[in-house]
Structure 1
Amino acid sequence: MIATPDDCAWFSYERFPELAEAYCFTYVHGLTPEQLVVRLGGRPEDFTPMTLEELIETSYRNSYDTAFLGATTIGDCVFIVEPNGGLGIDEEIITPLSAGTRLVSHFRDPPGGASHRHHADTGAAGGVHLPVRNHPRTEVSRTHRL
Structure 2
Amino acid sequence: MRRRSALLLLTLVPLAGCGASGSAEPLASAGTSADYAWPARNADLTSGFCFTLVRGLTEHQITKRLGGDDLERVDWNRVVRPGDGEAGARKRFFMGIGRVGNWSVIVEDNGTLGVTRELVKSLSKNRGEVLAYRGGGGEPGRLVVFRNGDLALDLDTSAPDRLGGNKPDQFRPTLQATGLLGGPAVTDPTASALAFMAARSGVTLTAQVMQQLEYLLVEVPQA
Alignment TM-score > 0.5, same fold = yes
SS at match of 2:93: coil
Corresponding position of 1:114: 140
CA-CA distance at 1:59 after TM superposition: 3.8
Corresponding position of 1:77: 103
> In terms of Rg, which structure is larger?
2
Q: Does 1:63 align with 2:63?
A: no
- 1:138–1:122 Cα change, 3 Å: closer
Specify which of 122, 135, 155 is matched with residue 96 of structure 1.
122
Identity rate of aligned residues, in percent? 20
CA-CA distance at 1:52 after TM superposition: 2.0
Deviations, residues 14-73 of structure 1 (Å, cap 9, x unaligned):
4x32225511000110000010111110133xx122222222235417524242100011
Is residue 59–residue 68 contact of structure 1 (8 Å, CA) maintained in 2?
Answer: no
Deviations, residues 73-119 of structure 1 (Å, cap 9, x unaligned):
111011000011110001011111211201100110411x1101110
- 1:86–1:5 Cα change, 3 Å: farther
Specify which of 74, 77, 80 is matched with residue 50 of structure 1.
74
TM-score (norm. length: structure 2): 0.53
CA-CA distance at 1:131 after TM superposition: 2.2
Alignment gaps of 5+ in structure 1:
none
Corresponding position of 1:123: 149
- 1:6–1:36 Cα change, 3 Å: farther
- 1:54–1:98 Cα change, 3 Å: same
- C-alpha distance in structure 1 between counterparts of 2:93 and 2:104, whole Å: 17
- 1:58–1:34 Cα change, 3 Å: farther
Is residue 44–residue 83 contact of structure 2 (8 Å, CA) maintained in 1?
Answer: no
Amino acid in structure 1 at the alignment position of 2:143:
R
- C-alpha distance in structure 1 between counterparts of 2:122 and 2:60, whole Å: 16
How many residues get paired? 138
Amino acid in structure 2 at the alignment position of 1:94:
V
| Superposed CA RMSD | 3.0
SS at match of 1:63: coil
Is residue 59–residue 84 contact of structure 1 (8 Å, CA) maintained in 2?
Answer: no
Alignment gaps of 5+ in structure 2:
1-10, 13-29, 160-184, 198-223
Structure with greater contact order relative to length (CA < 8 Å, sep ≥ 6): 2
SS at match of 2:84: helix
